[in-house]
Amino acid sequence: MAAPETWTLGRLLTWTTDHLRKHGADSPRLDAEVLLAFAAGCQRIQLYTRFDEVAKDDIRAKFRELVRERSEGKPVAYLVGKREFYSLPFRVTPDVLIPRPETEFLVIALADRLKQRMATPAAAEPARILDVGTGSGILAICAARESSLAKITAVDISGAALEVARQNAVDLGVGERIEFLNSDLLAAIPSERAWDFILSNPPYLAEHELAEAARDVRDFEPRHALVAGPTGDEIYARLIPQAAERLKPGGWLLMEISPQLESRLRELLTLDNRWDAVEVGKDLGQRARVVHAKRKV
């Protein structure tokens, strides 16, 4: 009788990749590698030198449970508790939206605006930056790392999300530079405070779009961070006038958007005559992704 085949790390990866593909994973090989590296306590790249290593029982048991949960739709980021964004490792929990690569275009937009500001008289004062709907804190933390002198405030309606953001700020060395506030948009911020930049990646799915979303999004990510309302533009319609009241003359509102909402966002900004120099930046797929709106001087 032939001896049973040994479960090496390489064999585990091959089997799991096929298993996750059958269960509808978009990136089964990547998911398998991330989960196995997490179970084995190593970096993903290190797996490539360990394919022939026999998997220990404790690694197999941990990996088996992770694969089971992933097969049921739970996102890999929640299973391993982190997600890379802008080349930085961020903690994530089911209390926060998982960072998307598209949001990096909003960070790049801010970096470009900060550079432009350095050539103006306003550069004499530290930039004041407000991140609305901070979630895991990615925008506020990246802003702090882009500008060591900026004064940054991050707000979110979810207290649980703010705790995740605070911990990320500490982990990434900017905990003392960001003020975190529990607020529904700008409602809890003192009216006398004014900002040079307001950033936001708000919920922008319409209710019917969530029903059509992938299972790992629809069933696991926080609904309040995804869905704006029946049409998807509800949060923008509230945020735009609030931002106009709080931005300094010449200040910028920078927002991530759904490409489907570009025309509606232009309309909302045009109807509020406190804005000019409205621009729309595109992502790598040439889809509308970031709205830049300048507060009239």
- Residues paired with residue 159 on neighbouring β-strands, in sequence order: none
- Residues 176-197: pLDDT tens digits? 999 999 999 999 999 899 999 9
119 and 212 inside one domain:
yes
3 state SS of 252: strand
Residue 48 shares a structural domain with residue 133: no
Beta-ladder partners of 256:
290
Structure tokens at 273: 């005559």
Structural domains in the chain (count): 2
Q: What is the pTM of this model?
A: 0.93
| Residue 1 resides in a domain | no
Question: Considering the domain boundaries, does residue 87 fall inside one?
Answer: no
Tens-digit pLDDT profile for residues 137-164: 999 999 999 999 999 999 999 999 999 9
Domain hosting 252: range is 95-295
Q: Is there a single domain that holds both residue 125 and residue 24? A: no
Q: At residue 125, what are phi and psi to the nearest 5 degrees?
A: -115, 145
Q: What angle do CA 164, 86, 242 make, to 5 degrees?
A: 65
Measure the CA–CA gap between 101 and 93, rounded to whole angstroms: 18
Q: What's the full length of the chain, in residues? A: 297
In-domain check, residue 79: no
**Has residue 240 been placed in a domain?**
yes
249 and 140 in a common domain: yes
* Residue range 217-228, pLDDT digits in tens: 999 999 999 999
Three-class SS state of 18: helix
Q: What is the CATH number of the domain that holds 247?
A: 3.40.50.150
| Separation between Cα atoms, residue 205 and residue 186, nearest integer Å | 21
Same domain, yes or no, for 38 and 178? no
- Are the CB atoms for 187 and 158 separated by under 8 Å? no
Residue 143 in any domain: the answer is yes
Count the neighbouring beta carbons within 10 Å of the beta carbon of residue 99.
23
- pLDDT confidence bin for 123, thresholds 50/70/90: confident
**Rounded CA separation 253/272 (Å):** 13
| Domain annotation covers residue 83 | no
Helix (H, G, I), strand (E, B) or coil at 85: strand
**What is the pairing mode between strands 128-132 and 151-156?**
parallel
Domain shared by 152 and 279, yes or no: yes
Per the prediction, the chain carries an average pLDDT of: 95
Average pLDDT over residues 107-112: 97
Closest by Cα among 98, 34, 24 to 66 = 34
Residue 84 lies in a domain: no
Are 109 and 254 contained in the same domain?
yes
Q: pLDDT per residue over 236-255, tens digit each?
A: 999 999 999 999 999 999 99
160 and 268 in a single domain? The answer is: yes
Tell me, yes or no, whether 54 and 154 share the same domain: no
Give me the pLDDT at residue 1, please: 45
Q: Return the bridge partners of 128, or none.
A: 151
67 and 104, same domain (yes or no): no
Which pLDDT does position 63 carry in this prediction? 96
In a shared domain, residues 162 and 229: yes
Find out whether 69 and 90 touch, Cβ atoms under 8 Å. Answer: no
* 81 within domain boundaries: no
pLDDT reported for residue 4: 59
pLDDT score recorded for residue 162: 98
> Which residues lie closer than 8 Å to 52 by C-beta, 6 or more apart?
8, 9, 10
User: How far is residue 133's CA from residue 96's CA, in Å, rounded to a whole number?
Assistant: 10
Confidence (pLDDT) at 3? 47
pLDDT above 90: percentage of residues in the chain: 93
pLDDT exceeds cutoff 50 at 2: no
Residues of the chain with pLDDT > 70: what percent? 99
The pLDDT value recorded for residue 277 is: 86
Closest CA to 79 of 42, 114, 37, 22: 37
The answer to whether residues 156 and 269 belong to one domain is yes
